[in-house]
Amino acid sequence: DARVTQTPRHKVTEMGQEVTMRCQPILGHNTVFWYRQTMMQGLELLAYFRNRAPLDDSGMPKDRFSAEMPDATLATLKIQPSEPRDSAVYFCASGLYLRHTNEKLFFGSGTQLSVL
Amino acid sequence: AQTVTQSQPEMSVQEAETVTLSCTYDTSESDYYLFWYKQPPSRQMILVIRQEAYKQQNATENRFSVNFQKAAKSFSLKISDSQLGDAAMYFCAYRSAESEMDSNYQLIWGAGTKLIIKP
């Protein structure tokens, strides 16, 4: 079965360090989302891409977060410098979205980030 | 703006029994999609069932079915013959279908309901 692959699965780092999370979307999907999940805030949309172009990153703290899709097989989410409040599970999801269709969204297993 | 509300933070059910999880939403749109996602302890979010608002018939997927009440803006999930593997967080989500704007492909999520299955 096709799946969205996220690495690393777990990351523990110290405050101030750079963190890079990677996502390999399902081949052929044209839309990639980055979500952050915490107990307090639930699922928050950080950014999303259509055909590798960023469409909305309004949910992302611009001063320290950046999201890119260098090619169709890789999406990255970087935090620099990381802070303890960034501790969360970060999910990548991909889908093939066409207008007026109800396509399924596929999620990766997430990266659990702990910033000490 | 659209909102999704899941009023039950936690539900429990005896194995083999039936349980219903509640979800209400607020929207001024007439064309949209609704989803239930399951998140087991493994963390991966899995689509359980989806419903198009223009369809009057309630969606069903094996033991999972929904009660979609468009006028009441209610979208509950019924799990029949509950199994231990159903234990998970369940999230209700909404997506607009009206606009041609790409930003409307975003999902609006509820806070989730933790489902506990008692053996």
Query: Residue B42 — very low, low, confident or very high, per pLDDT cuts 50/70/90?
Result: confident
Min Cα–Cα distance to chain A from B53, Å: 11
Taking an 8 Å cut-off on Cβ atoms, the answer to whether A110 and B43 are in contact is: yes
| A91-107 tens-digit pLDDT | 999 988 776 666 778 99
Residue with tokens 């596929």: A106
Give the closest-approach CA distance of A109 to chain B in angstroms: 4
Q: Identify the pLDDT of residue B99.
A: 58
Q: Mean pLDDT throughout A30-49?
A: 91
- Closest among A95, A88, A111, A102 to A33, alpha carbons compared: A95
- B97 touching A (Cβ < 8 Å): yes
Percent of chain B's residues with pLDDT above 70: 93
For B64-81, what is each residue's pLDDT tens digit?
999 999 999 999 999 999
Residue among B103, B111, B89 at smallest CA distance from B4: B111
CA nearest to B51 within chain A: A102
pLDDT over 90, % of chain A = 72
Between CA A57 and CA A32 the distance in angstroms is: 12
The whole-chain average pLDDT of chain B stands at 92
Q: Smallest Cβ distance to A91: which of B45, B46, B52?
A: B45
Q: Which range has the worst mean pLDDT, A41-50, A63-72, B15-24? A: A41-50
Residue type at position B7: S
pLDDT band of residue A39 (cuts 50, 70, 90) is confident
For B86-117, write each residue's pLDDT tens digit: 999 999 999 887 655 555 567 899 999 999 99
Spatial separation of the C-alpha atoms in residues B11 and B101, rounded to whole Å: 37
DSSP string, B43-69: ---EEEEEEETT--SPPEETTEEEEEE
* Cα separation, A112 vs B118, whole angstroms: 28
Residue A11's contacts (CB-CB under 8 Å, 6 or more residues apart) are A19, A21, A111, A112, A113, A114
Q: Which residues of A touch B112 (CB under 8 A)?
A: 42
* pLDDT score, position A92: 96
**C-alpha–C-alpha distance, residues A93 and B5, integer Å:** 22
- Cβ separation B109–A110 shorter than 8 A: no
pLDDT in tens, B46-58: 999 999 998 889 9
Say whether residue B105 is in contact with chain A using an 8 A CB cutoff: yes
Q: Quick one: average pLDDT of A46-65?
A: 88
- pLDDT number for residue B100: 53
